[in-house]
């Protein structure tokens, strides 16, 4: 092979760099093709191994980068976002905060404009105050009825929502722990019954005071129908009646929102709420409030005794036996004897005492239609009370014969039920803990908490 002259070399390198580069590339390609055909040679094996190692290294680098990106610390949230998350966590743990904020908003609006024309005033105070008649200028003021009474009921539904959650969580839960109730399920049951007892401990005596100032004292059924229609009432009567309406509206919300675990008599309890709310609304709108106050009082006092007996049972009081017997006696007298007297009067005195006609202009609604509706609702309520009396008597039999102190009326809190409540509380606490970690930047939105934390630790080790 002829050796090129130095001048030729200079000429190629200076004037044809592109051609030389192409020739070199072509030669290299031919050598690679030749090497690939000789696959059994050590050079070929080395080339393949090197290529495989390079690919593996690249994949490993890519995986490491992906893991690093996934496990790397999340972006710092803004202070406002973290504050909102803390407020949300607090509201989840303390369910009384939302109604408290609503009450504070009402208080602030009323403080801005406390006058008679304030739009907030009908929510807080009674509406439709009537002028005193000339024949009794020194008598107690009377209050009529109207649409703003719905605002009053709505506001006090919020008040009772706050009261229930605050008293249960801040007062009754520590009391349950002080009496040795460690299970969250039993604590919850105790708190529900103790709050019921506290509420009726106030409304029971208040109902006696209000009834004493009416013609129906002491369950005088003639006073329910004389001088009908009863369109106006004293302030104490109207406040008591609407406050009780707010309580039952709030209890319906508790049931609809699932704030209490459903019990064995859940269907009967739903029917009881429907009948009760219908009786309250219709009796108020069509002026049968003297029947309503008698029904209120009989149910409030009997519920007071029953809720107290349940609360004593949860803390293992030695007086549970006699007190449970007293509760059954009060139940029979108040919910059956007195209410059957009221029901009988609907069949007899409803038609014969006072006017009996339909006249919308004078708001005279004591007629055959209201007679049938009133009897039907009260009979439905009495049927439910008879069902619960059967459950109470069966519980009394078990207590006397088998020494099992358990109210079979509405309690489903056997060991399985309590375990379910405890498991539910543990899940809620776990969710709150995850939310706390997420707010601190440990848990991200994608993936589970355990995966993300382990990836973060591995990245730190790398």
Helix ranges, 39-78 (H): 42-71
C-alpha atoms less than 13 angstroms from C-alpha of 78 in its C-beta half-sphere: 3
Would you say the pTM of this structure is higher than 0.85?
no
pLDDT at 272: 96
Average confidence score pLDDT of the chain: 79
Residue spans per domain, the chain: 78-122, 157-424
pLDDT at 330: 97
Structure confidence by residue, pLDDT tens digits, 2-26: 444 433 433 434 444 444 444 444 5
Q: How many CB atoms lie within 10 A of CB 415?
A: 9
Angle between helices 289-314 and 320-331 (to 10 degrees): 160
Q: How many CB atoms lie within 10 A of CB 130?
A: 12
CA distance 42 to 49: 11
pLDDT at 135: 78
pLDDT at 10: 37
Angle at the Cα of 165 from the Cα atoms of 162 and 169, rounded to 5 degrees? 140
Helix (H, G, I), strand (E, B), or coil: what is residue 284? helix
Angle at the Cα of 89 from the Cα atoms of 88 and 94, rounded to 5 degrees? 95
Q: How many CB atoms lie within 10 A of CB 400?
A: 11
Q: CB-based contacts of 435: which residues, under 8 Å, 6+ apart? A: 85, 88, 89, 92
H-helix or E-strand spanning residue 201:
helix 184-212
pLDDT at 401: 86
Cβ atoms of 417 and 261 closer than 8 Å? yes
Distances (CA, A) of 456 to 61, 62, 68, 326, 444: 17, 17, 8, 63, 11
Find the Cα–Cα–Cα–Cα dihedral 333, 338, 339, 345, rounded to 10°: 160
pLDDT at 258: 84
Ranges under pLDDT 50 in the chain: 1-25, 29-70, 410-416, 418, 436, 439, 441-462
CA 378 to chain centre: 30
Distances (CA, A) of 223 to 289, 396, 441: 11, 37, 69
pLDDT at 424: 55
Backbone conformation region of residue 261, classed left if phi is above 0, alpha if psi is from -120 to 50, else beta: beta
């Amino acid at each position: 092979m002829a050796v090129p002259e130095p001048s030729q070399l200079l000429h190629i390198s200076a004037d044809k760099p592109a051609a030389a580069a192409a020739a070199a590339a072509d030669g290299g390609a031919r050598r690679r093709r030749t090497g690939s055909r000789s696959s059994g040679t050590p050079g070929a094996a080395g080339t393949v191994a090197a290529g495989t190692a390079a690919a593996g290294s690249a994949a490993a680098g890519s995986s490491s980068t992906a893991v690093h990106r996934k496990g790397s610390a999340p972006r710092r949230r803004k202070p406002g976002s973290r504050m909102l998350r803390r407020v949300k966590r607090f509201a989840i743990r303390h369910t009384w905060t939302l109604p408290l904020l609503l009450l504070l908003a009402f208080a602030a609006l009323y403080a801005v404009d406390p006058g008679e024309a304030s739009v907030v005033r009908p929510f807080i105070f009674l509406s439709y105050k009537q002028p005193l008649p000339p024949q009794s200028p020194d008598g107690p003021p009377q209050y009529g009825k109207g649409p703003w009474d719905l605002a009053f009921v709505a506001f006090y539904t919020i008040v009772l929502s706050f009261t229930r959650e605050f008293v249960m969580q801040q007062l009754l839960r520590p009391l349950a722990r002080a009496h040795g109730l460690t299970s969250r399920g039993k604590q919850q049951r105790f708190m529900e019954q103790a709050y019921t007892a506290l509420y009726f401990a106030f409304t029971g005596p208040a109902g006696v005071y209000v009834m004493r100032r009416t013609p129906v004292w002491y369950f005088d059924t003639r006073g329910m129908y004389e001088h009908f229609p009863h369109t106006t009432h004293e302030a104490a009567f109207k406040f008591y009646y609407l406050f009780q309406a707010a309580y039952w509206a709030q209890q319906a919300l508790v049931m609809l929102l699932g704030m209490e675990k459903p019990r064995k008599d859940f269907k009967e309890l739903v029917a009881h709420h429907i009948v009760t709310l219908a009786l309250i609304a219709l009796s108020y709108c069509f002026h049968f409030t003297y029947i309503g106050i008698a029904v209120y009082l009989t149910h409030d006092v009997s519920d007071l005794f029953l809720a107290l007996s349940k609360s004593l049972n949860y803390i293992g009081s030695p007086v549970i036996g006699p007190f449970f017997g007293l509760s059954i006696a009060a139940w029979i007298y108040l919910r059956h004897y007195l209410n059957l007297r009221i029901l009988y009067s609907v069949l007899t005195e409803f038609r014969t005492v006072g006017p009996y006609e339909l006249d919308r202009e004078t708001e005279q609604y004591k007629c055959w239609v209201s007679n049938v509706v009133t009897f039907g609702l009260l009979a439905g309520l009495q049927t439910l009370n008879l069902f619960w009396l059967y459950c109470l008597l069966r519980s009394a039999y078990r207590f006397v014969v088998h020494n099992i102190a358990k109210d079979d009326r509405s309690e489903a809190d056997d060991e399985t039920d309590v375990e379910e409540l405890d498991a539910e509380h543990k899940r809620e606490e776990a969710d709150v803990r995850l939310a706390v970690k997420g707010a601190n930047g440990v848990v991200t939105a994608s993936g589970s908490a355990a995966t993300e934390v382990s990836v973060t630790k591995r990245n730190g080790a790398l």
